[in-house]
Structure 1
């Protein structure tokens, strides 16, 4: 308590002033709060640096992946000369990418693959094997085979020299290989030579009617 005396025209006036002492421990709490804020800020900065470093390392880190050494067309059987290993960022690698060339060599490309493109196991499938008891022959097709891949099952039909069900020459012919367009056939440059595996009796019918007219493949 502080006492102050003041003189005036009509006497004196005494003023009492009370000063509230600081709360016990308030200074300590402020110091602890400041220290906690500084610690929190330091932790945030440290975590930001750590996450940034991990992101940089993930981008920089690489591992060998199988890529196309040259352009591979859809339906081609992938050869050893078609692929090579190249270091690719780990962060960009998909779960189906492979680092083993043997995983794709000998398989059939499902899509067009450009040079330097990574090759995943989904881009290729196993090359077909002729079923037991079948024979493999080349057939000149008049129909488009852009949608036909090695391993597909198709129905071969004749466009001439038959009627109804007799036009079906092979019910389940397996596509073994699709060749380049044949420009020497009587039907022009759209003819395609395709190797099929089929039963011997079906192969005999195909070879007989192939000389008479066009044969088409019906994709299932």
Structure 2
């Protein structure tokens, strides 16, 4: 007998096997929905308690001394904490600066991670020089003193003695008290005469002394 006026839920309440299976499926669906709502509520509450922060992180490894480009960094949302609170919060503060230490991909950038790119001061000049010592520890922005290993003003007799292999070696002297490194170029091997290269900014008087001394013997860069 058909019950044309039966309520919509009659198919669930009927004392049949099909109705019981429908009730079980409905119960499982309700349980799953309840769990999803509970999880959403938990995550929402956790986010409200901990909060999030958006900081600058590296998209790839950045070598010490490298100039940071726009593609090297990205804004990343992370859980808020006292650690992330000290990180950089704008990409503009990182782009164009010089990495002060190696930075790994995904690592946050801090104020101590970067240094200002060096600029040439008014009245200074820029000079490319070959140095006798290793420049592995030097990066753009570092200040160095430039020292001649053969003396600044050798007299004629000292020059003759060096050419003949006689006499005492002239004392080293400082050619420039302060020079700012603009760029570095390490030697690539090969010829034993090849030396590391530095591009430095310094005052014209010191630049002239450095150029003259470079014709006489090796120059050493001393990190200040």
Report the TM-score, using the length of structure 1 for normalisation: 0.64
Task: Identify which of structures 1 and 2 has the higher relative contact order when contacts are C-alpha pairs closer than 8 Å and 6+ apart.
Answer: 2
* Matched residue SS, 1:140: strand
Does 2:178 match 1:172?
yes
Corresponding residue for residue 66 of structure 2: 76
Q: Distance in 1 between matches of 2:129 and 2:191?
A: 11
| Inter-CA distance 122–55: structure 2 relative to 1 (3 Å threshold) | farther
Contact 2:135 2:186 (8 Å CA) reproduced: no
Are 1:156 and 1:216, in contact at CA under 8 Å, matched by a contact in 2? yes
Q: Flag the structure with larger Rg.
A: 1
Structure 2: 5+ residue stretches without partners: 1-41, 153-169
For residues 84 and 185 of structure 1, the distance between their equivalents in structure 2, rounded to whole angstroms, comes to: 42
Distance 1:184 1:132 in 2: 38
Task: Kindly indicate whether the alpha-carbon contact (under 8 Å) linking 1:58 and 1:91 is maintained by their aligned counterparts in 2.
Answer: no
For residue 93 of structure 1, report the CA deviation from its aligned partner: 4.2
- Structure 1 residue aligned with 2:102: 112
1:213 paired residue number: 217
Counterpart for residue 207 of structure 2:
203
Q: What pairs with 1:45-60 in structure 2 (closer than 5 Å)?
A: 56-57=46-47
Measure how far apart 1:186 and its partner are: 4.6
Q: How does 1:130-149 map to 2 (within 5 A)?
A: 130-149=120-139
For residue 116 of structure 2, the aligned residue among 126, 129, 132 is 126
Q: Which protein is richer in strand relative to its size? A: 1
* Shift in Å, 1:64: 2.6
CA RMSD of aligned residues (A): 2.8
